[in-house]
């Protein structure tokens, strides 16, 4: 089962697959060394990045993430305001401290972006090696960042179940199965997910995590609406959420009502959150960092703009969205490096649409319909970040994804849940489309918009 604890990870920007995942992989490698009897033999560390990590890792902060992970930092606990200085200190020292055992690690030479060797299993692959004083391998591991901050050893890529996994009362692997469970038990999708979660840990722990996720999302939007200036990375992209907020508030003060005010507000929330992600701030993978503005924007829209919104409704929103995100994760992908941006903003739109329908009292069938609509109109979307940065077109793309999610929810709520193309068929189509998509359109910055920035 893919849990709310798996799908909603609290971390830092700008990328779940290129920042959060590599940091967790490097931390896991470090933890293994600390537990190893051969730790004292280790004199130097060496890391090689392959595939999409090599092509766009510099723009996605992958080097900093690896350094922080080797230094013992995790995405959900590292302070975003001090992360740069921590990484700089390791680089200046040319070493990392492994529990009192200092080993050499100079990022300029020991962290390699290999754009030539094709990764054999997954496009986001890291090779981490511990060497002795003579340069011989002591420990060597290969990890893959498979999207949404999930990391697995290379040998486990593609495995869908682990031996000894705990039983849950309502396991499901398809939308049709999820709807059948709801019909049989008369439970909502949110209640089905909560029952499964409560089989793994106390319900109060699940609710506390949901509250933490909601708090982090809302704080991310709020910070993004207050900050201005230039985003890092060299494209000279200026933050605009604070300016948008001022314009919207000024119009309200002057009692000017625009027909697009609701859409403007949703755009504002999504842009604010995504700008925070681009700046390396605290965000929630939902399901990825590249799409970290969609769910917070729609959730904030529900809280601020929907009559009768409640804290319980926000929980229903996230629990329902979890089921939809899990279906995409199990049966297709949420990785831009695997299937393009349809797997990131597209999945986030599908999740947000389903969550909003649930929070507004829609039926399970309407939830499934909203999720299907949300993805249907993202099929084929490429992942082509300019300069390898999660800025162009990613920031505006999150705003469009959020607006589409509200529209999908509205269409679904106006219907009775019956429709011709099922969510399962759309997920299968998305997967096949991703397989057919050329690699240059899958987070390598070798095609699409990434090659068309005008030279001024």
In this predicted model, what pLDDT tens digit does every residue of 12-70 receive, in sequence order?
999 999 999 999 999 999 999 999 999 999 999 999 999 999 999 998 999 999 999 99
User: Is 404 found in the same domain as 313?
Assistant: yes
Q: Please name which of 104, 108, 40, 96 lies closest in space to residue 68, comparing C-alpha atoms.
A: 96
Helix or strand (DSSP H, E) at 137: strand 137-147
Domain at 149, CATH number: 3.30.1330.90
Q: Tell me, yes or no, whether 189 and 98 share the same domain.
A: no
Q: Using the 3D structure, point to which of 156, 183, 199 is the last residue of a domain.
A: 156
Phi, psi angle pair for 142, to nearest 5°: -120, 125
Same domain for 130 and 76: yes
Query: Is residue 368 located within the same domain as residue 287?
Result: yes
Domain membership of residue 451 (yes or no) is no
Please check whether residues 204 and 109 belong to one and the same domain. no
Q: Alpha-carbon distance 424 to 179, whole Å?
A: 11
Q: Give the per-residue pLDDT at 160.
A: 57
pTM for this prediction: 0.92
Backbone angles phi, psi at 101, to 5 degrees: -105, 105
Asked if 58 and 187 sit in the same domain, the reply is no
Do 275 and 218 share a structural domain?
yes
Is 253 found in the same domain as 134? no
Asked if residue 223 and residue 180 are part of one domain, the reply reads: yes
Question: 40 with 184, same domain?
Answer: no
What range does the domain containing 341 cover? Answer: 175-441
Mean pLDDT across 253-270: 86
- Asked if the bond preceding 174 is cis, omega within 30° of 0, the reply is no
DSSP-assigned letter for residue 341? G
Task: Please give the average per-residue pLDDT across 206-212, as a whole number.
Answer: 98
Shared domain for 191 and 148, answered yes or no, is: no
User: Is residue 166 included in any domain, yes or no?
Assistant: no
The answer to whether the CB of 80 falls within 8 A of the CB of 280 is: yes
Half-sphere exposure of 147 (CA within 13 A, CB side): 30
Domain co-membership, 271 together with 127: no
CATH number at residue 264: 1.10.4100
Which of 55-59, 316-320, 400-404 shows the lowest mean pLDDT across its residues? 55-59
Model confidence pLDDT, tens digit, residues 155-201: 999 775 444 457 999 999 999 999 999 999 999 999 999 999 999 99
């Amino acid at each position: 089962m893919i849990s709310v604890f798996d799908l909603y990870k609290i971390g830092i920007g700008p990328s779940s697959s290129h920042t959060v995942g590599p940091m967790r992989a490097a931390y896991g490698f470090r933890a293994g060394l600390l537990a190893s009897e051969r730790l004292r033999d280790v004199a130097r560390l060496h890391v090689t990045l392959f595939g999409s990590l090599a092509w766009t890792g510099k723009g996605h902060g992958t080097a900093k993430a690896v350094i922080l992970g080797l230094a013992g930092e995790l995405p959900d606990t590292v302070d975003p305001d001090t992360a740069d200085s921590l990484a700089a200190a390791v680089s200046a020292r040319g070493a990392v401290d492994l529990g009192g055992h200092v080993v050499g690690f100079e990022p300029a030479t020991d962290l390699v972006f290999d754009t030539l060797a094709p990764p054999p299993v997954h496009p986001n692959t890291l090779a981490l090696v511990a060497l002795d004083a003579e340069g011989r391998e002591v420990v060597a591991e290969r990890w893959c960042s498979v999207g949404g901050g999930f990391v697995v050893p290379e040998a486990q890529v593609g495995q869908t179940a682990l031996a000894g996994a705990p039983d849950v009362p309502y396991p499901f692997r398809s939308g049709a199965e999820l709807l059948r469970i709801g019909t049989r038990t008369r439970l909502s999708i949110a209640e089905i997910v909560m029952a499964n979660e409560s089989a793994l840990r106390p319900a109060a722990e699940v609710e506390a995590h949901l509250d933490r996720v909601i708090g982090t999302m809302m704080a991310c939007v709020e910070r993004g609406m207050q900050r201005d200036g230039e985003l890092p990375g060299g494209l000279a992209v200026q933050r605009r959420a604070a300016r948008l907020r001022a314009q919207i508030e000024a119009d309200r003060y002057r009692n000017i009502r625009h027909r697009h005010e609701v859409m403007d507000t949703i755009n504002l929330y999504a842009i604010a959150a995504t700008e925070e992600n681009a700046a390396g701030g605290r965000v929630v993978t939902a399901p990825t960092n590249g799409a970290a503005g969609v769910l917070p924007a729609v959730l904030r829209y529900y809280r601020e703009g929907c009559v009768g919104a409640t804290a319980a409704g926000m929980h229903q929103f996230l629990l329902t969205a979890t089921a939809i995100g899990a279906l995409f994760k199990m049966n297709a992908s949420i990785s831009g490096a695997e299937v393009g941006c349809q797997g990131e903003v597209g999945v986030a739109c599908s999740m947000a649409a389903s969550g909003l329908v649930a929070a507004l009292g829609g039926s399970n069938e309407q939830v499934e319909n909203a999720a299907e609509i949300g993805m249907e109109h993202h099929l084929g979307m490429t992942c082509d970040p300019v300069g390898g940065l999660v800025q162009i077109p990613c920031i505006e793309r999150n705003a469009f994804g959020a607006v589409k999610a509200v529209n999908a929810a509205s269409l679904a709520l106006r219907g009775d849940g019956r429709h011709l193309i099922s969510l399962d068929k759309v997920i299968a189509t998305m997967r096949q489309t991703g397989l057919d998509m050329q690699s240059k359109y899958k987070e390598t910055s070798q095609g699409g918009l990434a090659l068309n920035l005008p030279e001024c």
